[in-house]
Amino acid sequence: MPTFLVFFIVFSLLVLIHELGHFVMAKKAGVKVEEFGIGYPPRLWGKKIKETIYSINAIPFGGFVRLYGQDEKVVKDKRRAFYAQSKKKRSLIIMGGVVMNFFLGVICFALVYSKLGIPTQLDYIKVLDVTHDSPAYQAGIKPGDKIIQTEIEGRIEIAENSEAFVDLIIAHRGEELVLVMVDGRRLKVTARTEEDTPGGQGALGVGITNTEMKFFAWWQMPFRGIIAGLEEAILWGKEIIYSLGIMIKNLFRGVIPKDVAGPVGIYQITSEVKKGGFLAVAQFTGILSVNLAVINVLPFPGLDGAWIVFILLEKVLGKKRRRIEQLLSQAGLALLVLLMVLITINDVRRLVAN
């Protein structure tokens, strides 16, 4: 499948799922949905079913939901208008898109794990590969070896996971260590100093993991896949929040992030991910969907998070300020469009430079 088609499907799915969340919650709250559109106007085709127009539009990316009473127009039936709903109902409608994006991320990750196996934590560190002539190679460590503990000057250290093992080795660069294997072997190895470590290698010259992909009975895999998918989505959510925090902090310091990708950058990444097949694209879609959920929670005008802030302010101040909210949202959207243009220009420059 051509890259542009994969990109189109992924991007459209992310936006449509988001808008579907708003649509479903609006219907549940009794708010009239005037239009649910695939793509953006001008409209190419539309059919009214009951009270909602379902349309296909000329600009083929994403979609939108138009709610009754969301703007400043005078409405005849206030009971069905968005702004006439309780704070709780409006909050649920607004957050519907975020929840659906997060849910899509869980489903994408669950699909990957259901096919590749469920990641299961081991109670030892498993050696995946050993670099030729590295300290580990010279010590006789082989792929498949299982490390249960490390001895340093007679002191026993047990790493809970791969990251803890790496931190332990780095903390003792230049020292002789004894790696104890499951089969009882005790192998002496000296961790290289940072100066003696070739680029792309670690202090020991090994690839390690403390997880393995495990398969269960066919009827268990979907359920276990969903649990693993939920854990993965939460993990990515935390990682994205942390990265956003670093990025915002750097922006206040005047440092412009170089690794932020816009549509052009994501298209380029899609072309690489596509080579890994369907499951790679599914995982990439999951990451993007969780990313979209996290970004939309941000309290920036034009994003869903800002509408939640407006509702909270309304609760504190006891009054709706629809005109101010709309002006802030329009200004926020304009800034977001400008930011996207600048990121796209940066993507193009980076593409040309490479």
CA atoms of 297 and 175, how far apart (whole Å):
47
The reported pTM is: 0.79
More confident residue, 258 or 111: 111
Helices (H) and strands (E) in the chain, counts: 9, 8
- Count CA atoms within 13 Å of residue 143 on its CB side: 6
Cβ density class 285-298: b for 16+ within 10 Å, e for less: bbbbbbbbbbbbbe
Longest CA–CA span in the chain (Å) reads 82
CA atoms of 57 and 59, how far apart (whole Å):
6
120-214 to CATH, choices 1.10.3260.10, 3.40.250.10, 3.40.50.12280, 2.30.42.10: 2.30.42.10
The whole-number pLDDT of residue 341 equals 64
The whole-number pLDDT of residue 305 equals 87
Three-state DSSP state, 309? helix
Q: With CA atoms as reference, report the closest residue to 23 among 53, 48, 44, 45.
A: 53
Q: With CA atoms as reference, report the closest residue to 107 among 274, 304, 287.
A: 287
Could you report the per-residue pLDDT of 139-179, keeping only the tens digit for each?
A: 999 999 999 999 998 899 998 899 999 999 999 999 999 99
The helix (H) or strand (E) run that includes residue 343 is helix 322-353
Q: Tell me which DSSP letter residue 273 carries.
A: H
The whole-number pLDDT of residue 281 equals 94
Average pLDDT over every residue of 59-79: 79
Query: Tell me, what amino acid is at 187?
Result: L
**What is the chain's mean pLDDT, rounded?**
86
Q: With CA atoms as reference, report the closest residue to 119 among 219, 232, 238.
A: 232
CA atoms of 152 and 171, how far apart (whole Å):
11
The whole-number pLDDT of residue 216 equals 84
Please check the confidence at residue 347 and state whether its pLDDT lies above 80. no
| DSSP labels, 81-147 | -GGGS-HHHHHHHHHHHHHHHHHHHHHHHHHHHHHH-EEEEEEEEEEEEE-TTSHHHHHT--TT-EE
Three-state DSSP state, 55? strand
Show the tokens assigned to 169: 């080795």
> Given pLDDT bands bounded at 50, 70 and 90, which one contains residue 83?
confident
Please check the confidence at residue 329 and state whether its pLDDT lies above 80. no
Please check the confidence at residue 346 and state whether its pLDDT lies above 70. no
Q: With CA atoms as reference, report the closest residue to 222 among 320, 109, 308.
A: 109
CA atoms of 116 and 113, how far apart (whole Å):
5
Residues 135, 55 contacting (CB under 8 angstroms): no
Average pLDDT over every residue of 205-229: 90
The whole-number pLDDT of residue 300 equals 80
CA atoms of 326 and 310, how far apart (whole Å):
10
Q: Tell me which DSSP letter residue 192 carries.
A: P
Show me where the domains of the chain are located.
87-116+229-353, 120-214
- Residues shown for the chain: 354
